[in-house]
Structure 1
Amino acid sequence: MKKEMGIFDILYVLAKRRTFVIVFTLLFAIGAIVYSLLAPKHWVSKAVLVPVEDSGNVFGALDGGMLGMRSGSLLGGMQRDPAVEFVSIMQSRSFREEVVKEFDLLRYYKLLDKPPLEAMEKAVFRLGNKMTHISTDQESKLITIKVETKDKLLSKNIAQYYLDSLQEYLSTKRGSKSKMQRQFLEEQVSYTKATIESLAVALKDFQKENRAVGLDEQTEALIGLYGESVAQYYKAEIEYEVAKQQYDSNSAVLADLARRRDVLAGKVKELESSNSQLVPSYIPQISRIPDLSMQYAMLKINLEIQKTVFEYLYPQYEIAKLEEARDMPSYDVLDSPSLAGLRSKPKRALTVVVITVMAFLLACLLAVIMENLQVTHRDQMDRVLGAFKRKTPGKE
């Protein structure tokens, strides 16, 4: 019957087969040392960020106003955990594909000989499950991004790219009602501002072309000049009619009054014409005053209307920008990615120690098994020889 081995039996076997145990363990230890020295080094770059939550202090002064009403009607019931949202964005497939393309990870993973779709699928999987590790702490809301590659600079650049791409996504691609309102008001403000500038230029050109710098004052000056000329004409006409009663038709006095009357009549007629030389260049022609007044009034009215619209729109636009800033999630970077000072793997000392210990235990197990096999084989041989001797006649 086979006897069970005790602790002393095991120690005896190990002492007996110590050469095998030592050689076996040394071979594995040397192999572990060689592996740890030749294995490619990996480097980790880490970034830590925390979402910035709106405390409401900045917008407290606007409570009860337009911003408060908009916040209550548009943003109510849309509370989301920024940390979970940030992690979901960075773990999305489209986000990872951008990282693969940006850093040519198909070449890094040696997948260029694969079909494009298969290569991208494998690269995205390895990026998300082996190269990058994104985690969040539910209590502190800290988000940790770890990137591990064979190049310390590549690890740092990928981690930084995650931060930059996240910020770009939040600022340009993430849609919200407040953002759409801000964009709409921004377009309206830009259009109104351009209209005001266009009307101002048109008004300036109109005044320059028609010499209508101050149309009311210019009209008053022209009317004064015209009225004075007409009054002088009527005065000369009256003097001429009175002189006709006193002087003969061939009188020199009557002839002078007639010439003076005719000159004044021509002056009045010229003032009423559109090309009068008697009107200064800075005063519009009297025949054009009604049309100029109408055109000038329309330009002024349109300009004032657009100014009023702009005065209403611009405060709304500023409020929309503040609301968008409040609605837009953001984060603070607590630890920026940096070049790793220590490799993450291989851990040479740990690797050598673990493999050496496991090799020693395996060597001990093999030594015990070999001893048991040898003992079993010897017992079987002894039984065979004993049986053979019993069947053979003995000598006397």
Structure 2
Amino acid sequence: MGETNNPPQATTLWDHLSIIIRWRRTVILIMSAVAVLAVLYAFLARKWYYSEAMVLPPPANTFGLGNFLPQLNLGLFGATGMLSNEVNLVLNVLESRRMKDLVIDRFDWMDRFPTKTRFKAYTRYRKKIKWEVTEEGAIHIWVTEVDPQLAANTINFIVAETAREYNRITVSQARNQREFLEKRLLQNKRDLEIAEEALKVFQQETGVIAPEDQIRASVEALASIKTELIMAEVEYEVLSSTLPPNSSEVLQAEEKKNSLAQKYEQLKKSSGKHDIIIGLDVAPEVSVRYLQLYREIELQGKILEFLLPQYEQARIAESREKGNLYVLDAGRVPEKKYKPKRAFVVLAILFISFVILYLIISFLEWYQWLRERDPEKYSLVRGVLVGLQPRNLFRWHSGERP
């Protein structure tokens, strides 16, 4: 019973070799057949050819979408991190359904390949046409096809259509930007004219030209008159205390004091329309209003300075006839196939076949050992194997026992 409970196990290299040696004829026969079939498959399998191209979008500091659109933090199609708007535009053109339809119709995929539906053709596009963004910001595009000339024609067609679509979008964006800036410039000019006219009317009504200088002059004039008024009041008090009230000196001193007081009050309250001196009572209001009008003119002027260069850039971008998508490397007709790798295919098939064959041989060794040493377990295993036969499985589903 000890032997029955301990079936033979291949624990050393010699154990494995001994099993293979016992089954050497079967191994040689089957592996030879597999080798022949693998070689036939490697030579008869469809060949694929690889053609690539490299394009470079314009830098962000030239006329293009980078001047008009905000930066987007995207990670698309294998690229990560911050991509410029120009790169994002090219990637979206490559991924667009319009580009897929152009390639499918141009090279007659629906009839040339087993793509009976448009959906399958789109799937083939995603599998056979790839791209990635390099660290330098260029876009690497490659195509795998069953014909070398077809691969080169496809990649060059994609590059040409991408450049054409890129140019169309950038020019359209520049046109829209130019129209928007043109309307905004007209509005800005009207606002500037209104602000200038309002300041002109205010200056004509108040006589204010330079409020800071005029207020400073008003303060100095009032201080001078106030000083004279105080001196006149002191003189009047001295004379009135020493001379009769009706004396000519007292009357003259009183008249001088009253005249200076009246003049001081006039300057303090307000100024005339054409006066240079601004009354202190109205100085805060006049200054604030003047600053508001002047600030509006400055604001509209700054807006005009900002809009004019943008408007000129949009006009230049709109007038361009060619896009700035630079083709660094055009697609070439590949001289060698891309896949399959025949040696790798043959070796892989042989290795997988040998592993499967060895597992089957090991199972047969164990099955034979059960038949000789453990009839009870052998009968159980044999019943399971018989039940797994296709005809018995079918009868089982029909409600009959195998």
For the residue of structure 2 that corresponds to 1:52, the secondary structure is coil
* Cα 1:21–1:85 shift into 2, 3 Å: same
* Cα 1:338–1:2 shift into 2, 3 Å: same
Question: In 2, Cα distance between the equivalents of 1:30 and 1:18?
Answer: 18
Q: Is the 8 A contact 1:51 1:329 kept in 2?
A: no
For the residue of structure 2 that corresponds to 1:133, the secondary structure is strand
Matches within 5 A, 1:118-197: 119-128=117-126, 130-137=127-134, 139-174=135-170, 176-180=172-176
Structure 2 equivalent of residue 17 of structure 1: 23
2:90 aligned with 1:96: no
What is the Cα deviation at residue 180 of structure 1? 3.6
Question: In 2, Cα distance between the equivalents of 1:42 and 1:76?
Answer: 41
Question: In 2, Cα distance between the equivalents of 1:23 and 1:321?
Answer: 78
2:373 aligned with 1:373: no
Structure 1 equivalent of residue 316 of structure 2: 322
Structure 1 equivalent of residue 272 of structure 2: none
Structure 2 equivalent of residue 246 of structure 1: none
2:344 aligned with 1:350: yes
2:52 aligned with 1:46: yes
* Cα 1:25–1:383 shift into 2, 3 Å: closer
Question: In 2, Cα distance between the equivalents of 1:52 and 1:90?
Answer: 17
Structure 2 equivalent of residue 227 of structure 1: none
Give CA deviations for 1:174-229 in whole Å, capped at 9, x if unaligned: 465532466899xxxxxxxxxxxxxxxxxxxxxxxxxxxxxxxxxxxxxxxxxxxx
Name the TM-score, length of structure 2 as normaliser.
0.51
Question: In 2, Cα distance between the equivalents of 1:109 and 1:76?
Answer: 41
Question: In 2, Cα distance between the equivalents of 1:93 and 1:383?
Answer: 63
* Cα 1:54–1:149 shift into 2, 3 Å: same
* Cα 1:85–1:173 shift into 2, 3 Å: closer
What is the Cα deviation at residue 167 of structure 1? 1.1
Matches within 5 A, 1:1-396: 1-3=5-7, 4-7=9-12, 8-55=14-61, 75=68, 77=70, 80-111=84-115, 114=116, 119-128=117-126, 130-137=127-134, 139-174=135-170, 176-180=172-176, 320-324=314-318, 330-381=324-375
Give CA deviations for 1:79-130 in whole Å, capped at 9, x if unaligned: 743223211111111210111111111012234xx4xxxx2222122112x2
Which blocks of at least 5 consecutive residues in structure 2 are unaligned? 73-83, 182-308, 379-402
Structure 1 equivalent of residue 249 of structure 2: none
For the residue of structure 1 that corresponds to 2:57, the secondary structure is strand
Question: In 2, Cα distance between the equivalents of 1:13 and 1:157?
Answer: 55
For the residue of structure 2 that corresponds to 1:349, the secondary structure is helix
Question: In 1, Cα distance between the equivalents of 2:87 and 2:319?
Answer: 18
Question: In 1, Cα distance between the equivalents of 2:70 and 2:177?
Answer: 18
Question: In 2, Cα distance between the equivalents of 1:334 and 1:53?
Answer: 14
Which amino acid is 2:165 matched to?
Y
* Cα 1:338–1:347 shift into 2, 3 Å: same
Give CA deviations for 1:235-286 in whole Å, capped at 9, x if unaligned: xxxxxxxxxxxxxxxxxxxxxxxxxxxxxxxxxxxxxxxxxxxxxxxxxxxx
Q: Is the 8 A contact 1:48 1:335 kept in 2?
A: yes
Q: Is the 8 A contact 1:51 1:82 kept in 2?
A: yes
* Cα 1:321–1:124 shift into 2, 3 Å: same
Structure 2 equivalent of residue 67 of structure 1: none
* Cα 1:121–1:174 shift into 2, 3 Å: farther
Q: Is the 8 A contact 1:10 1:368 kept in 2?
A: no
Q: Is the 8 A contact 1:47 1:159 kept in 2?
A: yes
* Cα 1:169–1:76 shift into 2, 3 Å: closer
What is the Cα deviation at residue 50 of structure 1? 2.1
Question: In 2, Cα distance between the equivalents of 1:338 and 1:183?
Answer: 42
Q: Is the 8 A contact 1:25 1:360 kept in 2?
A: yes
* Cα 1:142–1:359 shift into 2, 3 Å: same
Question: In 1, Cα distance between the equivalents of 2:37 and 2:103?
Answer: 37
For the residue of structure 1 that corresponds to 2:340, the secondary structure is coil
What is the Cα deviation at residue 37 of structure 1? 0.9
Structure 2 equivalent of residue 216 of structure 1: none
Question: In 2, Cα distance between the equivalents of 1:14 and 1:108?
Answer: 48
For the residue of structure 2 that corresponds to 1:47, the secondary structure is strand
Which amino acid is 1:29 matched to?
A
Over the aligned positions, Cα root-mean-square deviation in angstroms equals 3.5
Give CA deviations for 1:12-41 in whole Å, capped at 9, x if unaligned: 111111121222222111111000111111
Which blocks of at least 5 consecutive residues in structure 1 are unaligned? 60-70, 186-314, 385-396
Name the TM-score, length of structure 1 as normaliser.
0.52
Which amino acid is 2:328 matched to?
L
Question: In 2, Cα distance between the equivalents of 1:323 and 1:127?
Answer: 33
